[in-house]
Structure 1
Amino acid sequence: MAPLPVAVGITVFRPTPAQVAALCARVEADPRLTIVFDNGGLPPEAATGLKQRGARVLSEGRNIGVGGALDALARAATAAGAAQVLLLDQDAEFPPGQVAALEAALARLSASSPPPALVGPRPEAAPGRKAPSAPRRPEIPDDGSLVPVEFLATSGSLIDLAAYARIGPFRSDFFIDGVDLEWCFRAWARGYGCWMETQTALPHRVGAGVIRSRLLGIEMPRQPPFRMAAYLRNSIYAWRLPHVPRRWCLRQAAYLPLQALLYWADAGFRPGILAGLAGGVLDGLRGRLGRPRGLPS
């Protein structure tokens, strides 16, 4: 049997009724195989409705984090015979028709050197949010509308599953933040490229608003304390990984203290917040990863 061109993998966590309805509508509108990973909170009747519409619903009965969910989706897509998997989260407004642009981009890049690991849309900020960063990869030329990037948000990314098998799985011990960054840096180090298709875009809804400082010249998503601590932890731990470029480590060494200060100020300089951030930093230095402290049950 010829491989399916693309399977769609969607991670959900405590979806709202509106998100469930949008997901069901998407499954009905897209002839591609859709695999949903429930990281917790998907109502049984919603899971049944998705299955009745042709989706496959996976779950381990608990929150295993973003990295673990993405790997489960990639494995299931591979087992189903797909050649690529489009990864989305429950907020993604990425109509089935847009997927064709990424399929065409991946096909264009198939003969390039290095070969592509993924191609994804241009990140945009949903109203009141901050778009994820997608810094340009130095010394690699553009290919028309395709731009090489250091890393790209996994939501909206079309992953080549043969490349995934060689690059290795996403880091489940990072749990939530930095999963996409680490995997893309590893892809480049192992002879694959990560690309952004600038002619198609995906709005992102990271966090619950934006924290800005004109004085410091930075802005960042407003996240719950456990997630900010996990972001600091994973960023600092990544500095020890040989495939993470030194230029990125130096940039983060200057940027992270400013982000932590801005976050603490936005939280009213509460001592408990500072203690949580410091705990994340220490966990990163000591290599204590996995389920973040303070993660809601």
Structure 2
Amino acid sequence: MIGATVILYKPDMGTTQNLLEAVFQQVDVLSIVDNSPSPTELSLDKANLHYHHFPNNIGIAAAHNIGLQDLRSSGCDYGMLLDQDSTIDDDFAFRLSSLLVASKVEKRPLVAIGPRIICSFSEKTVKPRVQREVLVYDDIVCVTQIISSGMMIDLSKLDVIGYKDETLFIDGVDHEWCWRAKKQHLMVAIADKVEMIHRLGDSRSKFAGITYKVGSPVRLYYQFRNVLLLSRRGYVPWYWKTRNLCVLPIRFFANGLLQDRKLERIKFMLCGLWDGLCKRNGAFSDNW
């Protein structure tokens, strides 16, 4: 059985409804975790549908965990994670799950697989600047980490790896889980011929010829804090630590001086740096 978990937060229901309908046709069980202030009105058959509403926003990691627990308790073998702003093809779940099944038959230590990401802003395939491809098996490209949206997980391996780290709340949650899987000698991969359109960030901006993602001010708190928190962990790759620590000053400058709501952004970045140094985790509202 295949299940899916979709996380909602103040969704644009035009796009999100299309995603939910597409997912509902491809899986046996659908779990929706809604972090929006008000419940989202859904036009879906209630059969095999789990809906949870958390008006106080429990974070992406806790939302994923609730959804994954729903899928496991419903007897699913594989679980797919999706954000509300992703767009998938009609055979998306089948193609990803087939690759996981084939890997299990061939006794490859593959725990999760995701698609090639096409950025909805540039309409181009996202190519990480630093991450290298580790190994290639036919249509499977093993890598060090993949994003959570579009990720198909072998649910039986959660007992070995564990669930998502809820202390991070958001930002870095997907990568941290992948690195923890690698620590257990399990691999994550990209399906080379499966693509998914996904919205990365709220908008785009350019500085010194480099285009970068722009998110809401509060996301800066988690981004800055979690870099400091994750950089202390031994299983986090050195290339990730080096790159993210080195670009923190540049990101502070770009977000503090080149974007709107400058003082608000600076406040969240400073709070994130302070809490990262003090090893505080959880939601921003818990600490400030």
Does the pair score TM above 0.5? yes
3-state secondary structure, aligned to 1:263: helix
CA deviations 1:2-21 (Å, max 9, x no partner) are: xx2x1011111122331453
3-state secondary structure, aligned to 2:88: coil
Q: CA deviation at 1:277?
A: 1.1
Check whether the contact 1:11–1:36 (CA below 8 A) recurs between aligned residues: yes
Aligned-pair Cα RMSD in Å: 2.6
Pair 1:266 & 2:258 matched: yes
Pair 1:238 & 2:230 matched: yes
1:116 corresponds to which residue? 110
3-state secondary structure, aligned to 1:262: helix
1:15 corresponds to which residue? 11
Q: Which runs of 5+ in 2 are unaligned?
A: none
1:63 corresponds to which residue? 57
3-state secondary structure, aligned to 1:99: helix
Q: CA deviation at 1:191?
A: 1.2
For 2:184 and 2:166, how far apart are their aligned partners in 1? 19
Q: CA deviation at 1:26?
A: 2.7
Q: CA deviation at 1:132?
A: 6.4
1:36 corresponds to which residue? 32
1:164 corresponds to which residue? 158
CA deviations 1:134-180 (Å, max 9, x no partner) are: 55456x32112211112111000001111122101111121111100
Aligned-residue sequence identity (percent) comes to 24
Please say which of residues 34-43 and 17-26 is displaced more in the overlay.
17-26
Check whether the contact 1:129–1:221 (CA below 8 A) recurs between aligned residues: no
Pair 1:220 & 2:212 matched: yes
For 2:10 and 2:228, how far apart are their aligned partners in 1? 29
1:76 corresponds to which residue? 70
For 2:254 and 2:54, how far apart are their aligned partners in 1? 37
CA deviations 1:229-282 (Å, max 9, x no partner) are: 211111111011111022321222222222222222322693443232122112
Could you tell me which amino acid in structure 2 is paired with residue 40 of structure 1?
A: S
Could you tell me which amino acid in structure 2 is paired with residue 203 of structure 1?
A: I
3-state secondary structure, aligned to 1:164: helix
Check whether the contact 1:226–1:294 (CA below 8 A) recurs between aligned residues: no
For 1:219 and 1:33, how far apart are their aligned partners in 2? 39
For 2:147 and 2:66, how far apart are their aligned partners in 1? 18
Could you tell me which amino acid in structure 2 is paired with residue 126 of structure 1?
A: S
Pair 1:292 & 2:284 matched: yes
Check whether the contact 2:116–2:126 (CA below 8 A) recurs between aligned residues: no
For 1:66 and 1:111, how far apart are their aligned partners in 2? 32
For 1:191 and 1:125, how far apart are their aligned partners in 2? 30
For 2:219 and 2:30, how far apart are their aligned partners in 1? 28
1:84-123 correspondence runs (5 A):
84-110=78-104, 115-123=109-117
For 1:282 and 1:133, how far apart are their aligned partners in 2? 32
Check whether the contact 1:15–1:41 (CA below 8 A) recurs between aligned residues: no
Q: Which runs of 5+ in 1 are unaligned?
A: none
